[in-house]
Amino acid sequence: MAQHSLQVDSIIKLFADKKVLSDIYLSCSTAEIVGIFGRNGSGKSTLMKIIFGIENAANKFIKVDDTFLNQSFTRDGGIGYLPQNNFVPKSLTVEKAILLFIDDDKTNSIINDAVIKNFRKKKVKVLSLGELRYLEIMLILFSENKFAILDEPFRGLSPILIDRTKQMIFKQSATKGIIITDHDYENVIDIATKSYILHEGKLSIMTHRQQLTDLGYLPRFNVSNL
């Protein structure tokens, strides 16, 4: 199995001269699931958009393997991105969307998925929020990209779909690196192999769950040891 590395360094982002992200560094390799935690408005989604290449930054250094990326969202960049907003055209059928987004050798894995096959012939516009989110997660995870960035993947999913999604993330991490953030922090903690916490523009390695409380992400009564 090929091993790949993603290096993100020296990220600086300003909004109205206020430094939202300051000298950010993170790394992700094949088989890693990297969790990013932080309060609302801390800049998690902004950081993900910068890594993918759809958000400008005052300074950035992004490298996949030995290639420096100026436009991470290009196919050759090796990075897939699940945004918070839905991205699949609503006029398509589910099956057509799969054929459009996924290479031929992987389409059957999605079309015959136990959940997807129940609505594969339907138009995307009639899917429930959970069904659509599940479909979009599969499209990103089964893409040919070396890395997948997932912003709020559990949003709108039922408990059963959350469990299936976690299993899918874990399985696909065998061949790609995954970066994930979600307000459903327990499920991120459950699958993350490495975690960072974003606080006051700084990103640091999270070594224990107490940090989430110390930095105001969780109330103290929710704390337990990892």
Q: In which band, very low, low, confident or very high, does the pLDDT at 69 lie, cut at 50, 70 and 90?
A: confident
Number of continuous H segments (helices) and E segments (strands) in the chain: 7, 10
Distance between CA atoms of 79 and 26, rounded to whole angstroms? 15
Distance between CA atoms of 217 and 207, rounded to whole angstroms? 15
Q: Determine the pLDDT at residue 217.
A: 78
Q: In which band, very low, low, confident or very high, does the pLDDT at 222 lie, cut at 50, 70 and 90?
A: low
Residue with the two structure tokens 């559990």: 154
Distance between CA atoms of 107 and 136, rounded to whole angstroms? 13
Q: Which two tokens stand for residue 76?
A: 């050759």
Q: Where are the domains of the chain?
A: 5-87+133-222
Q: Determine the pLDDT at residue 216.
A: 76
Model's pTM, two decimal places?
Answer: 0.91
- 5-87+133-222: CATH architecture: 3-Layer(aba) Sandwich (3.40)
Q: Determine the pLDDT at residue 73.
A: 56
DSSP one-letter string for 25-89: EEEEETT-EEEEE--TTSSHHHHHHHHHTSS--SEEEEEETTEE-S-TTSGGG-EEEE-SS--S-
For the segment 169-190, what is each residue's pLDDT rounded down to a tens digit?
999 999 999 999 999 999 999 9
Strands 5-15 and 59-64, by their bridges, are antiparallel
Instruction: Show the CA angle centred on residue 101, arms to residues 181 and 86, nearest 5°.
Output: 45
For the segment 122-170, what is each residue's pLDDT rounded down to a tens digit?
999 999 999 999 999 999 999 989 999 999 999 999 999 999 999 999 9
